[in-house]
C-alpha cells in the first residue's frame, strides 16, 4: 500500500520567527504514527534554520524550487546540492506558479528533475490544466504533455511523486470534485504504467493540490488513486494542516 504524503507549500510566506512558530505548532499536534509522510516546504531563507527545528521528528523538509545546474554563475539561483546540504529531502518542480507566472517551460523542467535526482533530492513534479483547457476538454492532453516533457524511462519512479494541481482551483476557493480528481489521477497512473511498468505505477504516489482544506481533504483522500495532498494556504495554520494530515491517516 502506498503511504500518503501531505506536503505543505508555504510559498512566499513567513519570516523566520513566524516559521518557527508554525513548526512548533505542527510538532505539538503531530502524532508520528508512521501512517503518513509529512513534509514542509518553506522559502529558501528558512530551510536551514528550520531543519534544526525538525531534528528528532519524522517531519521532512522540502524546497519550492531549484535550478538546473549544480553550481555556477547563476545569480539568484539555488542548486540541488545546496538544498541537500540545507536538509531537504524533496523539491517541488513545475508548480503552476512557476509555469504560468514565471514562464518555466518543458526543457528547463526536464533538466531540473534530473539534476535534483542526481543530487539525491526527490522530486514532487506538478501537473495541471487551466480552466480554459478544462472547458475545452483538453485536460488529459495537457497533463500528458507535462508528464512526457519532464519525465521518462531514464527517471527512477521511486524517487518521484506526482502532484495534480488544476490551475483553476489554486487559490480560487474552487476544488476539483473527488470524481474529477480521481479521473485525472487514474489517467496519470495509466500513463506511468506505460513508461515504467505496472509495479512502478502501482507504487507511484500522486497527490492532489488545488485548494485542499480540512473540510474537503477526507473526501479527496477516499479516492483510490489520490495518495495525499500538496497543500497551499491551509498549511499556513498548524491546525488546518494537521487536520489534512489526519484525513490522510484515516484513509490508510
Collect all residues with Cβ–Cβ distance below 8 Å to 223 and sequence separation of at least 6: 178, 181, 182, 185, 208
Respond yes or no: is residue 110 known to be catalytic: no
Whether 165 sits among the annotated catalytic residues: the reply is: yes
User: What are the DSSP calls for the chain, one per residue?
Assistant: -PPPEEEEE--S---HHHHHHHHHHHHHH----SSSEEEEE--GGGHHHHHHHTTTSSEEEEES---SSSSSS-TT---HHHHHHTT-SEEEES-HHHHHTT---HHHHHHHHHHHHHTT-EEEEEE---HHHHHTT-HHHHHHHHHHHH--TTS-GGGEEEEE--GGGSSSS----HHHHHHHHHHHHHHHHHHH-HHHHHH--EEE-SS--TTTHHHHHTSTT--EEEESGGGGSHHHHHHHHHHHHHT-
Spot the catalytic one: 30, 110, 165, 185: 165
Query: In DSSP terms, which residues pair with 163 in a beta bridge?
Result: 126, 207
What's the start-to-end Cα distance of the chain, in Å? 8
Q: For cell 485548494, what's the residue?
A: 211
- Cα–Cα distance, 179 to 223 (Å, whole number): 8
**Active-site residue, from 30, 95, 110, 185:** 95
Active-site amino acid positions? 95, 165
Amino acid at each position: 500500500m502506498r503511504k500518503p504524503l501531505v506536503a505543505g507549500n508555504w510559498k512566499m510566506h513567513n519570516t523566520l520567527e513566524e516559521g518557527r512558530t508554525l513548526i512548533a505548532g505542527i510538532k505539538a499536534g503531530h502524532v508520528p504514527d508512521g501512517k503518513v509522510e509529512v513534509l514542509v516546504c518553506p522559502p529558501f531563507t528558512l530551510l536551514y534554520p528550520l531543519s534544526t527545528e525538525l531534528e528528532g521528528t519524522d517531519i521532512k523538509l522540502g524546497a519550492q524550487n531549484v535550478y538546473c545546474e549544480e553550481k555556477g554563475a547563476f545569480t539568484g539561483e539555488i542548486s540541488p546540492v545546496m538544498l541537500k546540504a540545507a536538509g531537504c529531502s524533496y523539491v517541488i518542480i513545475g508548480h503552476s506558479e512557476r509555469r504560468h507566472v514565471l514562464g518555466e517551460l518543458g526543457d528547463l523542467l526536464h533538466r531540473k528533475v534530473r539534476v535534483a535526482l542526481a543530487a539525491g533530492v526527490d522530486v514532487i513534479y506538478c501537473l495541471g490544466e487551466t480552466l480554459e483547457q478544462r472547458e475545452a476538454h483538453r485536460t488529459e492532453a495537457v497533463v500528458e504533455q507535462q508528464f512526457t516533457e519532464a519525465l521518462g524511462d531514464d527517471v527512477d519512479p521511486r524517487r518521484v511523486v506526482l502532484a495534480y494541481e488544476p490551475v483553476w482551483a489554486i487559490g480560487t476557493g474552487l476544488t476539483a470534485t473527488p470524481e474529477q480528481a480521481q479521473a485525472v489521477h487514474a489517467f496519470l497512473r495509466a500513463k506511468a504504467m506505460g513508461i515504467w511498468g505496472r509495479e512502478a505505477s502501482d507504487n507511484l504516489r500522486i497527490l492532489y493540490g488545488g485548494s485542499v482544506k480540512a473540510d474537503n481533504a477526507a473526501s479527496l483522500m477516499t479516492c483510490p488513486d489520490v495518495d495525499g495532498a500538496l497543500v497551499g494556504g491551509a498549511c499556513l495554520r498548524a491546525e488546518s494542516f494537521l487536520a489534512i494530515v489526519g484525513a490522510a491517516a484515516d484513509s490508510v
